[in-house]
Structure 1
């Protein structure tokens, strides 16, 4: 499949770009909610606007009231979110959790609120300092007609703001996914401010009782669903990192055209031109890899999971290069809060860890390929 957008996809990109630049800009959203110490780290009014624009329903089937689009379209929105550092629940709620709810009886309970931009969801998988979904140890023990959940989760993005949480736990039958409401007895949530001013959470499940209706799919069959959810989240995070890289690069190139040294704009110096050209090529390669991964996901290809790891690793490295070059080329002022370039660096650090860093995905790809 060609690595470029169709006419309809290009129209969606233009719509998302204008909306994020106008309504989701850095000053009006990220800085505003950071400086006020907002407990959520994002604006609920903007989230409702996401719903009005139809963005929240991109991955929701038309039969359920959504747009019935795919991961390529979700990635288009994610790239513009990354370009503008727009704080929102889109990545976890409208991509990862919606993917979990596909085909589940739970979708009738939660999708209407997500579509309206009223409901926020979280995904609780990680339990250690690094992303290791294969090492889920949280227990789900049979209790009456349901389960009792015991264990801890961390790095739960928007966990303190969520109306419900999709939780991965290990039952006797195997890994199982549960939809747990925020006010469940025995669930303790501690909000944690992340490096980029977004808010994650540590969650302690102290014998949380859930009934069988809260199971997403079937007990013991959650591993396949979780793999699908993680692929969706990883590809979307890769798109956001491409956006972060693109936004940082654009800001840096603009600065190179304005800043003067020795009577010349610094962009005239060949060494900086070479570095900018190298950065551009790396960002374009990351964008192509991410688009390919999303196309394969939409096709249901057996090669999709491997390509998603390629995309997450490549986008992570390109994003890190972009923010590091950006801060360095800005010089000393790049380290000050007055300039937005440092905000891109902080978002890059969080996104690189979310759903696995480049080292994790390089290793995963090697294992998939039999090395």
Structure 2
């Protein structure tokens, strides 16, 4: 029987990062970082904390994906305006390739390029380098003017469309396929972890509001129509967290199911985060749609993270594709 209880080291990591983010990433700072969504001061503080080197497998005691999932969940809870997930993924990928010469802020584009353009690459607008898939693993160094930023996005994340015309090949096919597949699985697990953090924190706001807002002389949370919706959302979030840590455990243990579980985790976590933040927003009534209330920040971040990799449909398609590949491999 698998035990997903956090280890003492993971508890310390969560406590330290949560305290740091509480000091440097409150909702006021999150609003100030929009619309780009990047807070350079926060990124500097996270660097002092040890990111993204925490993910390096070259360290004496390297962090596993389960450890990184703890960090990603904490970042999601705080709506961190910094490229935590993508830089952790890029660090692990570069270590697998034996590349130690790429410095600066390196991000990872989860979607394959189209016509030589890596579209909606997270944090490309502020990155020094972008790793992408375009018939092999390539890196666009200091993209600068090669990045076209959308004029408006749902929730920051410093998105950009990156022209890969002058990119450098990191690994060519077929050798690049396995490292990219593993990096994509890492990204899915850590994005799923961040989504559970967004979901849990957003749901907490909704529950707190339901306890304090009164109608007809009673807290609105005492009405079953609302209470049941919030309770159902909480059950979804708990289930998503368990699936995230199962997927992280599978990656750390080298299980053949690791990529399928990663796709399942991000699909289910996306659904849970959308449902939880939606229910929490509606618990606020009309106030939930106003910029003054923090719940809209969580609602938008949940939607943006869910769409970043193609949405629930894309993740579900990946689950089916991986399942069929396992069947074909078993027949061979």
Relative to the length of structure 2, the TM-score reads 0.91
CA distance in 1, matches of 2:49, 2:118: 33
Deviations 1:288-324 (A, max 9, x none): 0001100111111111111111111110110000111
Match of residue 45, structure 1, among 15, 25, 41: 41
* Residue equivalent to 1:96: 89
| 8 Å Cα contact 1:266/1:272 also seen in 2 | yes
CA distance in 2, matches of 1:364, 1:42: 30
Count of residue pairs brought into register by the alignment = 323
| 2:22 is aligned with 1:4 | no
| 8 Å Cα contact 2:264/2:319 also seen in 1 | yes
Q: Could you say what secondary structure the match of 1:245 adopts? A: helix
CA distance in 1, matches of 2:9, 2:292: 38
1:220 Cα deviation from its structure 2 partner:
3.7
1:218 Cα deviation from its structure 2 partner:
4.6
Please report the RMSD computed on the Cα atoms of aligned residues, expressed in angstroms.
2.0
Where do 5+ consecutive residues of structure 2 fail to align? 328-332
| 8 Å Cα contact 2:17/2:74 also seen in 1 | yes
Where is the helix percentage greater, Structure 1 or Structure 2? 2
* Residue equivalent to 2:123: 158
Match of residue 77, structure 1, among 56, 63, 71: 71
| 8 Å Cα contact 1:79/1:240 also seen in 2 | yes
* Residue equivalent to 1:225: 179
CA distance in 1, matches of 2:114, 2:314: 19
Q: Could you say what secondary structure the match of 1:271 adopts? A: helix
Match of residue 268, structure 2, among 275, 291, 314: 314
**Within 5 A, what are the aligned runs for 1:8-19?**
8-19=9-20
1:125 Cα deviation from its structure 2 partner:
5.3
| 2:242 is aligned with 1:249 | no
Which one is further off, 280-289 or 95-104? 95-104
| 8 Å Cα contact 2:75/2:194 also seen in 1 | yes
| 8 Å Cα contact 2:110/2:184 also seen in 1 | no
Which of the two has higher C-alpha Rg?
1
CA distance in 1, matches of 2:182, 2:21: 28
* Residue equivalent to 1:109: 101
Match of residue 68, structure 1, among 59, 62, 68: 62
Q: Could you say what secondary structure the match of 1:281 adopts? A: helix
Deviations 1:8-39 (A, max 9, x none): 211211112212122122212x11122xx6xx
| 2:314 is aligned with 1:360 | yes
* Residue equivalent to 1:180: 140
1:249 Cα deviation from its structure 2 partner:
0.7
1:204 Cα deviation from its structure 2 partner:
2.5
Deviations 1:327-360 (A, max 9, x none): 1111010010000111111111111112232222
CA distance in 2, matches of 1:218, 1:274: 52
1:228 Cα deviation from its structure 2 partner:
0.8
Match of residue 122, structure 1, among 91, 94, 107: 107
Q: Could you say what secondary structure the match of 2:117 adopts? A: strand
Deviations 1:178-201 (A, max 9, x none): 2221158xx722122421133211
Where do 5+ consecutive residues of structure 1 fail to align? 114-118, 127-132, 139-150, 171-175
**Within 5 A, what are the aligned runs for 1:257-296?**
257-296=211-250
CA distance in 2, matches of 1:125, 1:6: 30
Relative to the length of structure 1, the TM-score reads 0.82
